[in-house]
Structure 1
Amino acid sequence: MRQRPGLALIAALLLLQAPMGRAALASPAQLVGTYVWRLNERWFGGFSGLELSEDGTRFVVLSDRGNYASGRFTRNAAGAITGATLGPRHPVVDRRGRVLPRWKADSEGLAIAPDGRMYISFEGVQRVLEYDRRGGAAKILPRHPDFKNMPLNGSLEPLAIDRQGALYTLPERDPKDGPLKLYRFSHGKWSQSFTLPREGEFLPVGADFGPDGKFYLLERRFAGVVGFASRVRRFSLGPQGPGPGETLFQSRLGAHDNLEGLAVWRDTAGHIRLTMVSDDNFSLFQRTELVDYVVTE
């Protein structure tokens, strides 16, 4: 999701000038490190989707302007990112292999199946595209009837795939108040049977299934000139729906930039790791930030 430029610029200026302090309140997940990622390429930025390999080193990153690329992270002994090598850019294409026009290319969520199939969710024209291989033509998944009523700049952002190959998504902004509606795509159709509890003013922007099989939800709160706060909650999804949510961390306002992409993995010590990337809105006053947390239960 894009923030209104004026507010975003002011917030970013204050964010850069403000002391960081502790990144998060006391919580099961603790900050490991942050890395400001810079690359002198016009397409670079606006990252809203992130997928990682099992060891947290190889990645695919998605921009909200219809581009994606793969690469590799370097990490220090603590597991914090210290560098990133990025491969060539690939444009998101339609079912005929043509580059998407800008008005149809607001790509937000990214999920990659074990067999390499790639899925991308979109705002604007609310849909999910499937790719049998990277660089190949798209397949348009059927749409749930609710999708057409979602806000243009607040619809399908988080996207995750479970071990059985089912996709999960939810809108950033629901036209109605109440619990967060969770949509599931399996056996060729969408269903909306489950909800997640809504807590406070946070909005869902990213999601992933961890190696523990649980559903992790990245949420963001935008507080105008004060900046952004981020939160990750974890849920067990069973046949009867999600269990009680657990807040793994909630950052202080201004601690991080506009975190939108989430990838969950397990380190060699057996700890769950949360790696996130920020959408800099292609602003000179914001930054592309990579953030690592470790769940220290």
Structure 2
Amino acid sequence: MSPSRLGRALAALALAAALASPPGRAEAEPVPITISATRIDRFGPATPIGARYGELVFLGGLQLRSDDPNFGGLSGLRLSADGARFTAISDRGFWFRGAVEREGPTPTGLTRVEREAIEGPSGALPGRRGSDTESLEIEGRSAWVASERINQVLRFALDANGRAGAGRAISMPKEARSAPFNEGFEAIALTEGGALMMIGEKFLDARGDNRSFVVGARKPFSFSVKRTDDFSPTDAARLPGGGFVLLERRYVPPLSLSIRLRRLTEADIRPGAVVDGPVLMEANLIQTIDNFEGVSAHRSPSGATVITLVSDDNFSRLQRTLLMEFQLPD
């Protein structure tokens, strides 16, 4: 996450490193990096692997570290349909791609990881102090990346290895381009029909709900996502069985952080609607959480729906890059 309310409050507790200027990024080709992973076998004091938490079952997690100075700030995530590979973006304007290793349903590490600069129409994107890439969607040979500082969505063509060329800006309604600075579209996901759903982080309508849009459809339209308990959307993903999972975060200074997952029904998303959905789980600092900003969903080899979360560490020594997985019972 870029220096928002959460970043500024944590900066008051000596998180100056989170606001450091990004290191140089001259590499034109993918750079192999090594990710070390420490297993997390409990989501909370009473939630070991295999235990239910809310409507979900905890499958395990990882704390990720790397000597690469550009690793971190992960704000968007997509896993392949079988969960074997991942693509993530950082708010410094990098792609990260690699394989997810597992023992049964439990993640154990990331291997064959590469980093590559995200290229826009005019070259490498300027990172979180410029465009601030925050959300990601992938479908087939196409990827979409949303930047919240300049309220832009780029579409990329992918090659057979998942590598992207230069992105091109998609058309967005004028109303969508007026999202507040640094509080734009942190959550994007494709609808079943192939249009792009975009949900604002704190882009509020007259009722105080989160303004949202569907673009790329025959008739683009706006709707809203019900805002409750001051949770802000940070990502969304389409579920394999239909509908969406919405990741939300609430920060209350100085040290209160909560995250929430809600399920949205696609049939409810229509022009002018206010969409709400049931809470799948809500967690706070009693559980093993951090600044979760990315969510993905896939089918496991057994056919179960798996939800994967990743956190943005703000490049701070006081925060962590966590990857956590849960099963959504059918």
TM-score range, shorter chain: 0.7 to 0.9
1:16 matched to which residue of 2? Answer: none
Does residue 131 in structure 1 map to residue 156 in structure 2? Answer: yes
2:142 matched to which residue of 1? Answer: 117
- What is the identity percentage for the equivalent residue pairs of Structure 1 and Structure 2? 31
Does residue 82 in structure 1 map to residue 82 in structure 2? Answer: no
Q: How does 1:144-293 map to 2 (within 5 A)?
A: 144-176=173-205, 177-187=207-217, 190-192=220-222, 194-238=223-267, 241=270, 245-255=277-287, 256-293=289-326
Q: How does 1:40-119 map to 2 (within 5 A)?
A: 40-77=67-104, 79-96=105-122, 98-102=123-127, 103-114=129-140, 116-119=141-144
Q: Deviation of residue 145 (structure 1)?
A: 1.5
Whole-angstrom CA distance in 1 between matches of 2:193 and 2:115 = 30
Whole-angstrom CA distance in 2 between matches of 1:5 and 1:81 = 32
Q: Deviation of residue 45 (structure 1)?
A: 0.2
TM-score (norm 1): 0.88
Q: Deviation of residue 226 (structure 1)?
A: 2.7
Whole-angstrom CA distance in 2 between matches of 1:11 and 1:235 = 38
TM-score (norm 2): 0.79
Whole-angstrom CA distance in 1 between matches of 2:179 and 2:269 = 26
Contact persistence 2:191–2:266 (CA under 8 A):
no
In structure 2, relative to structure 1, the CA distance for the partners of 1:126 and 1:86 (3 Å cut) is farther
In structure 2, relative to structure 1, the CA distance for the partners of 1:181 and 1:11 (3 Å cut) is farther
Q: Deviation of residue 31 (structure 1)?
A: 2.0
SS across alignment from 1:173: strand
Contact persistence 2:134–2:147 (CA under 8 A):
yes
Q: Provide, for residues 107-135 of structure 1, a one-character-per-residue CA deviation record: whole Å limited to 9, x for no partner.
A: 00000112x11100011100100011233
**Unaligned ranges ≥5, structure 2:** 16-42
Does residue 21 in structure 1 map to residue 49 in structure 2? Answer: no
2:246 corresponds to which letter in structure 1?
L
User: How many pairs align?
Assistant: 287
1:82 corresponds to which letter in structure 2?
T
Whole-angstrom CA distance in 2 between matches of 1:239 and 1:285 = 40
Whole-angstrom CA distance in 1 between matches of 2:316 and 2:298 = 30
Q: Provide, for residues 172-230 of structure 1, a one-character-per-residue CA deviation record: whole Å limited to 9, x for no partner.
A: 002445222221112477421x3222221210001000111211100011133334211
Whole-angstrom CA distance in 2 between matches of 1:139 and 1:240 = 26
Whole-angstrom CA distance in 1 between matches of 2:239 and 2:322 = 21
Q: Deviation of residue 99 (structure 1)?
A: 1.0
Contact persistence 2:176–2:213 (CA under 8 A):
no
Contact persistence 1:170–1:180 (CA under 8 A):
yes
